[in-house]
Amino acid sequence: MMQQRILILHTGGTIGMEASADGYRPAQDFSTLLAQKLDGCDLPNYELLQLDHLIDSADLCPSHWSQMAKLLADKWEKYDGFVVLHGTDTMAYTASALSFILQEIDKPVIVTGSQIPLSALRTDALNNLLDSLLLAVNPEIKEVCICFDGRLLRGNRSSKVNSTSCDAFDSPNLPWLGEAGVHIQLNHGLLLAGGSPNFRTLTFDSRAVAMLTIFPGMQANMLEQILKQEGVKGLILRNYGVGNVPSHNSALMQALEEAVQGGIVVVSVSQCVAGGVFQNTYASGSVLSRIGVSSGSDMTMEAAFTKLHYLLACGEQAEAIRRKIPLPLRGECC
C-alpha cells in the first residue's frame, strides 16, 4: 500500500448519484460504495470528507467555492494531495474559482466526476477516480486541475464541451497538462511552479457578477435591466468572434458606456470555444476599448466569470480590476 495520503472531498454530482423517480439525485451512502470499489487496491491512503448537503452541481452557488476552499485549506498540511468530486455541469467554474482562491499552492488539487454514476455497471467514474488519485500524489503538480477521461487539464482553462460523451472536458486554448493512457504522462513544460500557500477566507456575493450573451437584434433595455439589479458589480459580456458587438446599436453602446462610468466592471469574452478576444481587430470591437470594457483575452467564460468574482471578493476597486482582468493570475490566460 502506498504511504501518501489523499483527502477526497465529495461535493455531489453524477459520480455519487442514484436513480430516482425524478432522475438522478445525490445518494447518501457514498462512502460504502467508494470503499467497495477501492479497498484492496494499491492506492494512496485516502480519507473521505463530504459537504453537509451534496448537490447536483447545477445548484452550485459562489458560496460553495468558499466552503470548498476552506475545507481544503484547513486540511492542507495533513495530506499530500486532494481530489474534489464534483458534478460535471459546473465543474469548470469550480476548478477555475479554486485556482484563484487557492493561489500559490504546493500540492495537487484534482477535480473530477463522471458522466455515469460510480454504482453503474458501465461507469466512467472508476477510471476518473483512479487516475485522479494517482495524479493527486504527484508532487510535480502544484495547481488545480481537472482530470477526466484520461485528460489532465488546467482547471481554469477547462470547459465542459460534451454533454453526452465521456470525453466531456477539454482546454481548447491550452494543450493538456497530461494524459493517462497506458502510462500516465505529464506535459512538464506546462505545469505551474508552486509557491507558499497563503490562504485567505473570501466571501462571495452571488449577485456580484452577471453574464449576458450578445445576439443579433439585442435591445439595450435587456442590458439595462440586468445592470439595474441590486448588488451587480461586474458583467461578463459574451461577444462575437474576437470580441465584436453590434457597435451601430447606439442605445446599447450608450448603456454599456454608462455602466462602465458607473463603476461596473465589464469583461468581454468570446462566444467561440477556442481563440479569444482581440478587441482592436475590428471597429465593432475597438469601440469596447474606448468605452473601458476589459478584454477577457483567451480566458474561458468560466475563468473570466470566477476571476471577476474573485477580484471583487478581494475588495479590489473597479479600476484595478479592469487592469488585472487580462493579466494571468494563475495560468488562466496568455
For ligand ASP, the binding residues (CB under 6 A) are 12-14, 56-58, 87-89, 113, 115
Rounded to the nearest whole angstrom, what is the least distance from the CB of residue 155 to ligand ASP in the complex? 16
* Between 163 and 203, CB nearer to ligand ASP: 163
The residues carrying an active-site annotation are: 14
Tell me which residue has cell 483527502. 7
Q: What are φ and ψ of residue 186, in 5° steps?
A: -105, 150
Residue 68: name the closest of 23, 30, 13 by CA: 13
CB-nearer residue toward ligand ASP: 56 or 224: 56
Q: Closest distance between ligand ASP and the C-beta of residue 59, in Å?
A: 8
Q: How far is the CB of 13 from ligand ASP (least distance, A)?
A: 4
303, 328 contact by CB (below 8 A): no
Please give the grid coordinates belonging to residue 43.
492506492
Q: How far is the CB of 15 from ligand ASP (least distance, A)?
A: 7
Indicate the residue among 118 and 223 with the shorter CB distance to ligand ASP.
118
Which residues contact residue 191 at a Cβ distance below 8 angstroms, ignoring those fewer than 6 apart? 140, 141, 142, 143, 177
Residue 23 Cα to chain centre, angstroms: 25
Lay out the sheet containing 5-12: strands in order across.
45-55, 5-12, 81-85, 109-112, 144-148, 151-154, 178-180, 184-186
- Residue 94: what residue type? T
Q: Name which of 115 and 297 has its Cβ closer to ligand ASP.
A: 115
Query: Distance between CA atoms of 137 and 152, rounded to whole angstroms?
Result: 14
